[in-house]
Amino acid sequence: MNPLVPSDRDWPEDAKHENGNYLCHCLTCDQHFVGYKRRMTCKVCAKIAQDKWSALTPEQRAEKEARTWATVRKLFSELDK
């Protein structure tokens, strides 16, 4: 990956921000992209995730959110031990 060559994975809209031109690593696809320094997902993977979320029914979304929050609560309760 050459950061000087634009990629579909980059977030060009981040460039106007002070911390918007960092070489980042996508935790989903393991590829590099240019974007805000704290981004963890490239634009391609973010779009895929957004499309999957949009395709869910409200009930499916609620169920998925409930599972996610249960996992978060479990992690934090284990940290308190």
| pLDDT tens digits along 2-61 | 666 889 999 999 999 988 899 999 999 999 999 999 999 999 999 999 999 999 999 999
Look up the domain containing 44 and give its range: 12-79
Contact 35, 14 (CB under 8 A): yes
Q: With respect to residue 5, please indicate whether it lies within any of the assigned structural domains.
A: no
Over the stretch 44-69, which tens digit does the pLDDT of each residue have? 999 999 999 999 999 999 999 999 99
- H or E element in which residue 78 lies: helix 58-79
Q: With respect to residue 30, please indicate whether it lies within any of the assigned structural domains.
A: yes
Q: With respect to residue 37, please indicate whether it lies within any of the assigned structural domains.
A: yes
Report pTM: 0.78
Q: With respect to residue 6, please indicate whether it lies within any of the assigned structural domains.
A: no
Q: With respect to residue 4, please indicate whether it lies within any of the assigned structural domains.
A: no
Integer Cα distance of 52 and 59 in angstroms: 14
Number of structural domains the chain divides into: 1
Does residue 1 surpass a pLDDT of 80? no
